[in-house]
Structure 1
Amino acid sequence: MRKLSYVLLLLSLISCKNKSSVFEVKINHVSKNIIDELKHLKEEETNFSGLLYKDEKYEVRKSCSGEWGGTVYFKNRQNNVIHYAAATCPVSVNKINGKYYVSNSLAHMQGFSEILEISDPEKMEITKKIPVYHPDIITREYESESTLGTKKILDTTRVLIISSFVYNKKLYSIISGIDGTKTTISELKNNRFETVTELPEKIFYSEPIIVKKAENDLELYFQHPQKGIMKLHDNKIQITYYEK
């Protein structure tokens, strides 16, 4: 009996070891200056524009006042009515099966992250305007305190969500420890993060510039402590380090 148990355990370990990751990660190095890539970016196409998501019905924007709060805004593109709710601070908005998922993160003190589920933005509170967004502009007088129409499905500390994306109708997040030493791609599963793929350490020690081309097509430009670009398309991840 003991021998059988040992064999079953061994087979289990072999199976786990041979189990391939959902994502394929490739890393390379180039002798180029990252500035040459950054100067071709248009601010309105990046996360620094304040625009997080757009579909046929809504344009979704953000504001953030750090520890004083943040807000996510859903502007109805048909009637221009703006719905909003508290979200500190939005980094990504994704849509799966008709529901919107707002990923929030803040690197204040020990750092925290949360994910909100919004089934119907029309049930959120209404506001008259969206404040001009700029990382250096404090907008706390406008920040919403309402949770109407939102449902918090994940709440964690010492973890920062860099960005979230959709693959095979599942929500994945690129997350990093507050000290930046561990970076992973993790799946939202049973209201918690489950690590799927580990990435190199200290990629996103500071906030990257993000260009979102589609739900499953991202480019993340990082500059500290190392410089490079992480490109994600479907389940393929290419990390290129720039060494000039």
Structure 2
Amino acid sequence: MKSQKKILNQYKAQILFVLLSLLLIISCGKQKTLFEFSTEKVDRDIVDDIKKIKVLPHPGLLYNDTKYEVWKTCSGEWGGTVYFKNKKSGKIYYAEATCPVSVNKINNKYYISNSLSHLFGSSDILEITDPEKMSQTTIIPLYHPGIITREYESHSSKGAKKLIDTAGAVIMSSFVYKQKLYSILLNYSNTKATISELRDNKFYTIKEMDKDFFSEHPLIIKESETYQKIYLQQPKPGIIEIKENKIKFISYTKSKK
């Protein structure tokens, strides 16, 4: 009799385990994915859409908020710099950053995504809690991709904390969703393009994407912290539209001869 009860209890435990496992699987299956991805093809030339942009961003101006303008200069392998100009006082603070491609703000901290395609490629992300603890300068040099400004580049890291420093990967742009920072990366070693989350000072892949949607020279129109459009003419014409957690990849099927 005791042995029968023991066997019955074992069966009950096994059945309970199976039921709990099924509930867990069902629960996981119902969880929504973090981002919603979609694709679209349009039968027109991307140049025509770029011409419709009313105000093109200055190549050196990365970010604007109520207190600061954030500018950049880049001299490639000779270095780069990020500048914070206080709108009220006019004072300028700067730090070494090679080379800034994106500025994002989370909980009143600034995150500078830097990328350099020289040789095997490299990238890093800086955290700046208080720009006015950075070194001070008196001028923001004129920046244009064709102008070398290396004699002005900063060599100071004061006030800037490096969260991650990678070799072999470059960043096209970064964006914020639910107070977390995400970057669009290209890994030179395996030519994989990904959308990755910065977590515990490491990159974690959220989604692998078509590498044809990665360009080292995109046109980025940033409408807000959670909305940007990235225009690409190389390697193939397209747009990545990021709005909150909705990410759309738009391909163009026409090009001017």
* TM-score, structure 1 normalization: 0.90
Structure with higher Rg: it is 2
Shift of 1:72: 0.2
Q: Is 2:36 the partner of 1:24? A: yes
CA-based RMSD: 2.3
Pick the aligned partner of 1:227 from 217, 223, 237: 237
How much does 1:86 deviate? 0.2
Alignment of 1:5-154 (within 5 A): 20-41=32-53, 45-46=56-57, 49-154=59-164
Residue 202 of structure 1 deviates from its aligned partner by: 2.3
Cα separation, partners in 2 of 1:186 and 1:138, compared to 1, 3 Å: same
Q: Is the 8 A contact 2:172 2:216 kept in 1?
A: no
> 1:238 matched to which residue of 2?
248
Give the direction of change, closer, same or farther, for the CA distance of 1:193–1:54 in structure 2 (3 Å limit): same
SS at match of 1:67: helix
Deviation at residue 205 of structure 1 after TM alignment: 3.9
| Identity between Structure 1 and Structure 2 (%) | 54
Q: Which runs of 5+ in 1 are unaligned?
A: none
> Hey, what does 1:198 align to over in structure 2?
208
Post-superposition shift, 1:50? 1.0
- Equivalenced residue count is 239
Unaligned runs of 5+ in 2: 1-13
Structure having the higher helix fraction is 2
Is 1:177 the counterpart of 2:187 in the alignment?
yes
Q: Distance in 1 between matches of 2:243 and 2:217?
A: 20
Alpha carbons 2:241, 2:248 under 8 Å: kept:
yes
What residue identity is the alignment partner of 2:107?
N
Separation (CA, whole Å) in 2 of partners of 1:91 and 1:124: 19
Structure 1: 4+ residue segments shifted above 3 A = 7-20
What is the Cα deviation at residue 186 of structure 1?
A: 1.0
Of 58-67 and 11-20, more deviation after overlay is shown by: 11-20
Q: How big is the shift at 1:45?
A: 3.6
